[in-house]
Amino acid sequence: MKRTLGGIGMLLAVAGLAASVSLASCGPNKPDAAMQEPGVTEAARPGTLAYDRGMWQQLLSDHTKIRRSVKFTETGVEAITESDDPEVAARIIEHAKAMQERVRAGARVRVWDPVFAELFKRHEAVTLEVTPTDKGVTIVERSDDPETLALLRSHALGVNDFVRSGHAAGRRETPRLKVGDPVPVSEVAIGGVSHRFLMTQPDGGQVAMLKTAGVSALVNFRKPAEHVDYDEAGAAKGAGMEYRNLPYAGPQELNDELLDRARAAIGDADRNGRSAALHCRTGNRVGPGWAGYRVLDQGVPLAQALAEARAIGTHDPLMESKTRDYIRRRSGGSEWSALSPESMSAAQRATYERGVEARDAMFQRLFAALGEAMAKPAPEGGAAGAIGVCKEQAPKIAQRIAKENGVMIGRTSAKLRNPMNGAPTWAAGVLASTPTEARVLTNTDGSMGVVLPIKLSGACLACHGDPASMDPAVTAALREKYPKDQATGFKEGDLRGWFWVEMPGQ
Ligand code: HEC
C-alpha cells in the first residue's frame, strides 16, 4: 500500500497476519490456534505484536457491537466500520493506526490465508485512504490491477464475515473471487447477524454469488413494476433460493401487515438456519421490518434496532416514525393523548420547544434552497427549474434536520404534491380536524408529537397557486415530476399543510 494505510479492512487483515507471524516463530502454523489463543499479556505494550494481536482478538470478541457497510465500485471498495460503543469505536481507530504502522513496516499478515497473503504481495498496486469517523473508520481501497482488485473485493467480503461471525469467521479461509467474477453486491454487515443487507438491487449474477456464499433466501421489498426488466423470482429459483416479495413503494404504503410479513420472513429464515439477503433499491425499505423483528422477536433494545435500520439505509423520518408506532402498538400499552399548551409541564414545554426549533431550522433550510434555485436563470433555475431542486433537496433536508436535532420531522398536507409526504400515524386523527394552530400529543412512553400549520405567502403561489395563472413551464414540470399533484389552486394566506415533529421518548 502506497501511502496512507490503516483502515479496518487492512487492519483486521494485518492483525490476522500478526497472529500467524507470532505462531510461525513459536509453533505450527495452525490458523485455529492462532485465532483462539488469547492475547499474550506479557510485553503487551502498544506497538508490539502481542498488543496488536490482543486488539484483533478483542475486536473479534466484540464483533456483535460492530457494523460495517461496504460499497463495491468498478475500481475498488469503500467501507465504513463503526460501533456505537465508544470503547469499541476507539479500539477500531487505534487498531487502524497500529496496523497502518505495521503495513508501512512491511509486516505481512494471516499468511495461511491466500487472499490475505496474495494481497500483501501486491500491496504496491493498492491505493488506500483512511478517514477516522466519530464511531470508527472509513476506508477507500482501489487498484487498477484486475487481480489485485479481485483480491480487494474478496478481502472486503471476508472482513464482513468477521463482523457477522466473529472468531468463527476468523478461523476460516477467506473465499477468493476471480478476475471476471461479477462485482459483489454492496452490503451492510451487522455484528452477530448472519443475514445480508443489500444496498442496491442485485442482478442475476450477484444473486448466484450470494447463493455460493451461503445465502439461501431472498427477500425483496420492491414493487415488481420497479424491476420489470428483471425476473428476480426466476433468478432466485434458478439459484435454488427461497424468494419472498413484500412490495411497498415508500412510507405511505408501510403498514402493519407488511411489517408482520417482514418479521415472519426473517423469523422463518432464522428458524430454518438460513441466511437471507434483504433488499429494496437503496436499503431504505428494509430497515423497518428488520427493526420490528429485532425488538419484538429478539428483544433487542429499540435504540439499537433503529441504529441498525439507519445503517441499513432507512433515513426517512416518516419511515422511522411508522416503525416506532408499529413497535409501540405491537408491544402493547402505548397511547397518545392531546396536551393543551396550558397544561404542559416545564419538561414538556422544553421538548415542545425543541420541536419548534427543528421546524424553524427545516423551514429556513428549505427556504434558502428554494430561493437559491429560483434565483438561477432558466432552464435550471426559475420556478420551473426549482421544482427539480425541491424534489431532490426537500427529503434530504428533512433527513438532515432530523439527524441534527434528534427528532423525526416532515411536511404533510391534505392536498399532497408528493405522496411520500404522508402524515405519521399519530397525527392522522388530529389532522382530520384541519387545525390552524399548533397541536401537541404525548405518548405514555414519553414521546411527543407536534403539528404546526403552514400558511402560504405570495411567493409560494408560483408553484402552488391557480394553475391557469402559473408559468406553463412550471405546470409542465409539475406534470412530469408529480403526476398525482393535488397541491395547486391555493391563495395567499391559505393553510397549505403542516410540519410534523416527533420527539422520541426513548
Ligand atoms: C419552485 C416551486 C415551489 C415553490 C415556490 C414552493 N413550493 Fe412547496 N413544493 C414544491 C415541490 C416540488 C414540492 C414537493 C417536494 C417533495 O417532493 O417533497 C412541494 C411541497 C410542499 C409541501 C409538502 C407537502 C406536499 O404537498 O408534498 C408543503 C407543505 C409546501 N410545499 C409548502 C410550500 C410553501 C409554504 C411555499 C412558500 C413558502 C412553497 N411550498 C413554495 C414546489 C414549490
Q: Which residues contact 249 (CB under 8 A, 6 or more apart)?
A: 223
Across residues 4-22, what is the average pLDDT?
A: 37
What's at 154, amino acid-wise?
S
Cell numbers describing residue 439: 397541536
381 vs 503, more confident: 503
Please tell me the distance from the alpha carbon of residue 335 to that of residue 329, in angstroms, as a whole number: 8
Query: Cβ(136)–Cβ(89) under 8 Å?
Result: yes
Three-state DSSP class for residue 161: helix
Query: Cβ(115)–Cβ(172) under 8 Å?
Result: no
Across residues 351-367, what is the average pLDDT?
A: 97
Sheet containing 127-132, strands listed edge to edge, beginning at the edge strand earlier in sequence: 127-132, 136-142, 76-83, 66-72, 187-190, 196-198, 275-279, 215-220, 242-245
* Element of type H or E holding 187: strand 187-190
Q: Note the pLDDT of residue 442.
A: 96
User: Residue 186 has what DSSP assignment?
Assistant: P
105: confidence class by pLDDT, cuts 50, 70, 90: low
User: Closest ligand 1 atom to the C-alpha of 481?
Assistant: 12
What's at 70, amino acid-wise?
V
Pocket test for ligand 1, best of 399, 456, 464, 499 (most atoms within 8 A of CB): 464
Name residue, grid cell 475486536: 59
Q: Note the pLDDT of residue 506.
A: 65
Query: Cβ(53)–Cβ(25) under 8 Å?
Result: no
Whether residue 388 is predicted with pLDDT greater than 90 in this model: the reply is no
Cα 425 to the center of its chain, rounded Å: 23
Whether residue 316 is predicted with pLDDT greater than 50 in this model: the reply is yes
For the stretch 178-214, pLDDT in tens is: 999 999 999 999 999 999 999 999 999 999 999 999 9
Between the CA of 133 and the centroid of ligand 1 the distance, in Å, is 35
Q: Note the pLDDT of residue 12.
A: 39
Q: Note the pLDDT of residue 104.
A: 63
Whether residue 21 is predicted with pLDDT greater than 60 in this model: the reply is no
Between CA 419 and CA 499, with CA 360 as vertex, the angle to 5 degrees is 30
Across residues 300-319, what is the average pLDDT?
A: 96
Across residues 143-162, what is the average pLDDT?
A: 96
What is the b/e burial string over 185-206, where b = at least 16 CB atoms within 10 angstroms of the residue's CB? bbbbbbbebbbbbbbbbbbbeb
Whether residue 37 is predicted with pLDDT greater than 60 in this model: the reply is no
Q: Rounded mean pLDDT of the chain?
A: 89
Nearest CA residue ID for atom 37, ligand 1:
460
The half-sphere exposure of 380 on its side-chain side, counting CA atoms within 13 A, is: 5
29: confidence class by pLDDT, cuts 50, 70, 90: very low
Q: Which segment, 111-125, 225-239, 300-314, is predicted with the most confidence on average?
A: 300-314
> Would you list the domain boundaries of the chain?
1-182, 193-332, 336-503
Pairing, β 448-455 against β 439-443: antiparallel
Between the CA of 415 and the centroid of ligand 1 the distance, in Å, is 11
Between the CA of 385 and the centroid of ligand 1 the distance, in Å, is 13
For the stretch 429-485, pLDDT in tens is: 999 999 999 999 999 999 999 999 999 999 899 999 999 999 999 999 999 999 999
For the stretch 117-129, pLDDT in tens is: 898 888 888 888 8
Three-state DSSP class for residue 48: coil
**Phi and psi at residue 259, to the nearest 5°:** -65, -40
Across residues 9-20, what is the average pLDDT?
A: 37
Q: Note the pLDDT of residue 455.
A: 97
Ligand 1 pocket, CB under 6 A: 370, 374, 383, 386-387, 390-391, 394-395, 411-413, 416-418, 421, 454, 456-457, 459-460, 462-464, 487, 496-497
Pocket test for ligand 1, best of 496, 499, 500 (most atoms within 8 A of CB): 496
79: confidence class by pLDDT, cuts 50, 70, 90: very high
Smallest Cα–Cα separation from 446: which of 359, 333, 360, 356? 333
Across residues 21-47, what is the average pLDDT?
A: 44
The radius of gyration computed from the CA coordinates of the chain, to the nearest angstrom, equals 26
Please tell me the distance from the alpha carbon of residue 303 to that of residue 298, in angstroms, as a whole number: 14
Three-state DSSP class for residue 305: helix
Q: Which residues contact 416 (CB under 8 A, 6 or more apart)?
A: 422, 484, 486, 487
Superfamily the domain 193-332 falls into: Protein tyrosine phosphatase superfamily (3.90.190.10)
Nearest CA residue ID for atom 36, ligand 1:
460
Please tell me the distance from the alpha carbon of residue 21 to that of residue 412, in angstroms, as a whole number: 61
Q: How far is CA 315 from CA 245, 272, 311, 393, in A?
A: 22, 30, 9, 14
Please tell me the distance from the alpha carbon of residue 433 to that of residue 305, in angstroms, as a whole number: 34
